[in-house]
Amino acid sequence: MNSCFIISQFFLIENILIIFAANYKYMPRNKRLRKIVAPPRFSGYKPYGCRPQSSIPVELFFEEYEALKLADYKMLNHEQAAILMDISRATFARIYENARRKIALALVETREIVTSTGSSYTEKKWKLCNNCHARFNKSGNNTLSACPLCSSENTVHINF
Ligand SMILES: [Zn+2]
């Protein structure tokens, strides 16, 4: 075994360790999913009448939207909202706080808001019509293949 071989093997192992460390850093924690009734009826919001300070949008998770909706729109207390989302009161408080901070950040820095599934699930599968932007789930005679409003087949799943 010559020294060049040993050195090349060393760098190979070092590269593998760096790749492993880089991937480990971004591995998601094994989070419990949070139940939501329905995904938001929009993909995002854009500020207008202003000059945006940042082009980086604020990502609002479905469970954060649900927490805001339950606490600030439906006026439920944290205990009631946590039961509906099948999470502890402390977890609900954390999600709710994150949601408020993200909305504040978007408003103050005039940044766009985009929604994403986050760590949420729904009991029904929801779809989005790419033609009329309606959101719908399987109910009645609707088989989820076509949009119940415009009958378009150009639809995509919103959640898993
Ligand atoms: Zn439609």
Residue 8 Cα to ligand 1 middle (Å): 59
Give pLDDT tens digits for 61-119: 999 999 999 999 999 999 999 999 999 999 999 999 999 999 999 999 999 999 998 98
Give pLDDT tens digits for 122-153: 888 888 889 998 888 876 565 677 888 899 99
Residue 131 Cα to ligand 1 middle (Å): 5
Residue 43 Cα to ligand 1 middle (Å): 15
Asked if residue 60 and residue 107 are part of one domain, the reply reads: yes
Asked if residue 106 and residue 147 are part of one domain, the reply reads: no
Which of 131, 159, 156 is CA-nearest to residue 145? 156
Asked if residue 111 and residue 85 are part of one domain, the reply reads: yes
Q: How many domains does the chain have?
A: 2
Asked if residue 118 and residue 130 are part of one domain, the reply reads: no
Q: Are 57 and 112 in contact (CB under 8 A)?
A: yes
Instruction: Kindly state the helix (H) or strand (E) to which residue 65 belongs, with its residue range.
Output: helix 62-68
Indicate whether 57 belongs to any domain.
yes
Asked if residue 107 and residue 85 are part of one domain, the reply reads: yes
User: Tokens 């076509």 correspond to what residue?
Assistant: 146
Indicate whether 78 belongs to any domain.
yes
Q: Are 112 and 46 in contact (CB under 8 A)?
A: yes
Residue 144 Cα to ligand 1 middle (Å): 11
Residue 90 Cα to ligand 1 middle (Å): 39
Task: Output the pTM of the full model.
Answer: 0.71
